[in-house]
Amino acid sequence: MATVQTKLFQESTEELISGSEAVGIACALADVDVITAYPIRPYDTVMQYVARLKADGAFDCDFIVAESEHSQFEIVKHASAVGARTFSGSSGVGWFYAFEALTVTAGLRMPVVAMVGNRALDDPGAFGVEHNDALAVRDLGWMLYWVATAQEALDTALLAWRVAEDPRILLPFALSCDGSFLTHSQAIVQVPSQDQVKRFLPDYHRGTLQLHPDNPITIAPQVNEDWLMEIRRQTDDAMRRTSDVIIEAYEEFKEEFGRGDPSPFIEEYMCEDAEIILVGMGTLAMPTRVAVRRMREAGKKVGFLRVKFFRPFATEELQKALGGAKAVAVIDRDYSYGSPSYGGVLFHELRSTLYPLDERPLMLNFIAGLGGREVMVRDVNEIVETTQKAIDTGKIDQVTSWVAVRE
Amino acid sequence: MATLAVEVVYRGIFQRTLARNIVRNIVFAARKDGKIGTAFGRYGDSPERNGIPAKQFAIVADTPSELEESLAVYEATNVDVTINVDDTMCKGIESWAWYGLQPINELTKSGGTLIVTSRQDADALLEDIHQKDSPYDLAIIPSTVSFSGLWVYKDDHTDMRALGALCKVCPEMVSLGAMLESIKEQTGSDTKVASVQRAHDRTTGRPVEPGEGNTETPFSFDLPGWKTMEEGLVIRGVAAGTGFRGGEEGYTPGRNEVFKKWSTRSMRPVINFDTCIKCTLCWLQCPDTCFDVTPDGLYDANMEACCGCGVCEAVCPVPDCVTMVGEGEFNGNDSQWDAWTADKDGYNKWMTVLVEKQKDETRTHGFHHIGQYSEEITAAEEV
């Protein structure tokens, strides 16, 4: 590694790294001040890599291995209050053990950036990816993003600090990376130089909200019933402001680093003129894009839309992208027991998004890849077949279907 | 060309760094040929366990969209080249990520190549390697097995030799020129470059015809469905043991019928029943309850249950009663006690030969004492 290390961060390089390592490198590039860690697979690959970068002298930070996930997130929350750039992360039930700390982080408007290595919730103990862990913070004021490649993990981490720490926002940002497929697979990643990153990512200044002896303030008070609505409305307004700030930052990102999609919120793949649009998050994109490409070659009008930002949810953009389709098939790598139509979380959000349209596409939900089961091209073909049947008959026999589950 | 894939089958802990070096260097070198690639370990494996078979993959394609199909999977459906870095796994592997015994060449595609590091010849290896319906080539890198520990890596160039052999059998995946250039760049070592070149020049494949090889059917089982599985995450206990093989005397413990784990083993205990003092220590200490108690009070290591950890050898108070012998010497899992009972002289002769041979065997379970690394390197250099 010695030959590589000397160049790393001085100039832009090409590295063979996993999604977790990409996030670790982003921490170094962003010169994060305080990083807290507590091991749980698959997130732990990040803490191992950060620890190694620090040990190698590649960058300096306060690296604190806490005694639990709860403390892990409490520490970065407090560090963020005094003006430190922070990073933390977890997976599955570890993320849940931190839950109280997660909600107060958003409540106090601390721009903590966290990586969630998506993992199925216990029990049974399982390492494979499921999105229910990260999704649990969807109502708390966290920005929530699903990554599909190691390159996107690095890029989006940089974007995350930029947006979260923007004085107009000050909200935490969770970067979701599918366990195994992202956290443990190595791919070629373009690593920018520190100078480039410095141009894109300004220092974090909390201004008058900074906890400091020269700025005597108290934070986190107890309030009575006549205070909370206004405080909630403030956080709501901050979240409403994120869209514009994200667009602004993303445009600058593309200019500085020379890569990126048309939209920061969604990725459309062969969606133009598509009669059936499949929707999913994270690494589901890989088999789905392959299947779509093949079906297009066979003349079938199918497209795939990847939801990148789950919070903020790009309502208008999604209405525009999906409104013209005959049918929308949502693939959920998560599930909500007892929910409307016994469906997945993403499905409910999208059905709600498309409800105001005058002409609504047929909407079907497919539960696939839970606990890290591979979603295969043949599964996607089956999903499209079922959806086509609904279009042909004009009715939906079954709203939610489980894909590739053993009877 | 579309996409080309290599799997490296290795043993947990002992060979993890070795496997990682191989797959990473394939992707680096393919980059020199203008290709794009990915490297990953099979996620369901648990390579932090001593000796457990595990896999890493390198997949190389001309374009990112071609590569895409191979992303977000745990295991390629078939591979152009299988690299097996421990010949004892030619018997098949039962890893955490696979239910039942997976033949070593399960993924090797028709016309592909299986590369094995071994001191055995092809005919001896094919006694273990399961037969396939399609033809493939078998290439041997003459070598003792390269085992390291958790924190140390035995840099004996096994990785370089595997890479050189790969460039020979599958130049369309990565060219020798690209590999040499990449290894020089990554390691800065001319001797490593020379090792790649030498392995490339020396490697030849031997065709294996359909149906050639071990004709046994590897054990397997079906996973239950959601309607057939018991609710509440309950796992029923294994039934208590019985008398020896169901008889009145002795004892055979209850064992999991579907999880045998013997492929974790790279060595197995050979018992000298004549010197056994029946002290019970091997039976008590075996972490896998692999010992059956025979009606005459001896301890017969059941080779379907033994993971080869060597605890029995370590705790046995009698010199030369239990000896761990390299797994490559055996082609079956038959009972040693049966063989001894049937023909004591024959068994003892067979045992003596094996035990003597073991004294020259360099196969170990990682590193046990300070200085072992340099001892083994010196020994390897002399070979």
Q: A178 vs chain B: nearest CA distance in angstroms?
A: 9
- Please check whether residue B231 lies inside any domain of the structure: no
* Contact state of B69 with A290 under an 8 Å Cβ cutoff: yes
- What CA–CA distance (Å, rounded) separates B45 from B52? 8
Same-domain check for residues A21 and A80: yes
- Please check whether residue A326 lies inside any domain of the structure: yes
Name every chain B residue with its beta carbon within 8 A of the beta carbon of A180. Answer: 43, 74
Q: How many structural domains comprise chain A?
A: 2
* Contact state of A293 with B65 under an 8 Å Cβ cutoff: yes
Same-domain check for residues B43 and B182: yes
Those residues whose C-beta lies under 8 Å from the C-beta of residue A146, and which sit 6 or more positions away, are A131, A134, A176, A178, A281, A282, A306, A307, A308, A310
Among the partner-chain residues A124, A128, A184, the one whose CB lies closest to the CB of B233 is: A124
Same-domain check for residues B289 and B353: yes
Residue-level pLDDT at A2: 35
Q: What's B233's DSSP letter?
A: S
Same-domain check for residues A38 and A179: yes
Same-domain check for residues B188 and B73: yes
Last residue of a domain, one of A222, A257, A292: A257
Enter the pTM of the model: 0.93
Strands, E, within B212-329: which ranges? Answer: 267-271, 291-293, 299-301, 322-326
Q: B88 vs chain A: nearest CA distance in angstroms?
A: 27
Taking CA atoms, what residue in A is nearest to B229? A407
Among the partner-chain residues B36, B41, B72, the one whose CB lies closest to the CB of A181 is: B72
Among the partner-chain residues B27, B43, B72, the one whose CB lies closest to the CB of A127 is: B43
In the predicted model, residues of chain B with pLDDT beneath 70 are: 1, 361-370, 372-374, 376-383
Name every chain A residue with its beta carbon within 8 A of the beta carbon of B72. Answer: 178, 181, 283-287, 374-375
* Contact state of B227 with A407 under an 8 Å Cβ cutoff: yes
Last residue of a domain, one of A219, A234, A257: A257
Same-domain check for residues A327 and A231: no
- What CA–CA distance (Å, rounded) separates A348 from A336? 10
Tokens 């004294």 sit at which residue? B359
Note whether B5 and A162 are within 8 A (CB): no
Same-domain check for residues B288 and B156: no
Same-domain check for residues A172 and A278: no
Residue-level pLDDT at B46: 84
Q: What CATH number did the domain enclosing A113 receive?
A: 3.40.50.970
Note whether B136 and B108 are within 8 A (CB): yes
Note whether B347 and B336 are within 8 A (CB): yes
Domain encompassing residue A75: 7-257
Note whether A42 and A127 are within 8 A (CB): yes
Among the partner-chain residues A3, A285, A407, the one whose CB lies closest to the CB of B226 is: A407
- B245-265 per-position pLDDT tens digit: 999 999 999 998 888 889 999
Tokens 């108290």 sit at which residue? A218
- Please check whether residue B235 lies inside any domain of the structure: no
Taking CA atoms, what residue in B is nearest to A5? B186
* Contact state of B225 with A406 under an 8 Å Cβ cutoff: yes
Same-domain check for residues A201 and A62: yes
Domain encompassing residue B103: 3-208
Name every chain B residue with its beta carbon within 8 A of the beta carbon of A406. Answer: 223-226
Same-domain check for residues B179 and B314: no
Same-domain check for residues B191 and B299: no
Same-domain check for residues B149 and B271: no
Those residues whose C-beta lies under 8 Å from the C-beta of residue B311, and which sit 6 or more positions away, are B282, B285, B286, B287
Q: Are strands B53-61 and A62-65 parallel, antiparallel or unpaired?
A: unpaired
**In 3D, which of A173, A129, A156, A174 has the Cα closest to residue A280?**
A129
- Please check whether residue B379 lies inside any domain of the structure: no
- What CA–CA distance (Å, rounded) separates B267 from B290? 14
Q: What CATH number did the domain enclosing B331 receive?
A: 3.30.70.20
Same-domain check for residues A13 and A93: yes
Strand partners, B61: B3, B36
Q: DSSP states of A233-246 as a string?
A: HHHHHHHHHHHHHH
Residue-level pLDDT at B377: 63
- Please check whether residue A407 lies inside any domain of the structure: no
Same-domain check for residues B103 and B192: yes
Same-domain check for residues A117 and A51: yes
Judged by DSSP in three states, B7 sits in: strand
Name every chain A residue with its beta carbon within 8 A of the beta carbon of B27. Answer: 16, 186, 188
CA distances to A350, A361, A364 from A328, rounded to whole Å, are: 9, 6, 6
- Please check whether residue B230 lies inside any domain of the structure: no
- What CA–CA distance (Å, rounded) separates A179 from A41? 8
- Please check whether residue A81 lies inside any domain of the structure: yes
Same-domain check for residues B249 and B175: no
- Please check whether residue A354 lies inside any domain of the structure: yes
Last residue of a domain, one of A237, A257, A277: A257
Same-domain check for residues A275 and A250: no
Name every chain A residue with its beta carbon within 8 A of the beta carbon of B74. Answer: 180, 374
Taking CA atoms, what residue in B is nearest to A179? B43
Return the number of other C-beta atoms located less than 10 Å from residue A405's C-beta. 13
Conformation bin of residue A285: beta by default, left when phi > 0, alpha when psi is -120 to 50: alpha
Q: What CATH number did the domain enclosing A374 receive?
A: 3.40.50.920
Same-domain check for residues A276 and A298: yes
In the predicted model, residues of chain A with pLDDT beneath 70 are: 1-7
* Contact state of B40 with A185 under an 8 Å Cβ cutoff: yes
* Contact state of A3 with B188 under an 8 Å Cβ cutoff: yes
Strand partners, B205: B139
Same-domain check for residues A390 and A342: yes
- Amino acid identity of residue A382, one-letter, is E
Q: Are strands B3-11 and B53-61 parallel, antiparallel or unpaired?
A: antiparallel
- Please check whether residue B111 lies inside any domain of the structure: yes
Tokens 């045992």 sit at which residue? B351
Q: Which residues of B lie closer than 8 Å to A, measured between beta carbons?
A: 24, 27-28, 31, 36-41, 43-44, 65, 68-69, 71-74, 185-186, 188, 223-228, 233
- Please check whether residue B368 lies inside any domain of the structure: no
Same-domain check for residues A160 and A275: no
Same-domain check for residues B192 and B295: no
Same-domain check for residues B250 and B173: no
Same-domain check for residues B79 and B196: yes
Q: How many structural domains comprise chain B?
A: 2
* Contact state of A287 with B72 under an 8 Å Cβ cutoff: yes
- Please check whether residue A2 lies inside any domain of the structure: no
Name every chain A residue with its beta carbon within 8 A of the beta carbon of B39. Answer: 16, 185-186
Q: B152 vs chain A: nearest CA distance in angstroms?
A: 16
Q: What CATH number did the domain enclosing B19 receive?
A: 3.40.920.10
Note whether A312 and A242 are within 8 A (CB): yes
Note whether B266 and B327 are within 8 A (CB): yes
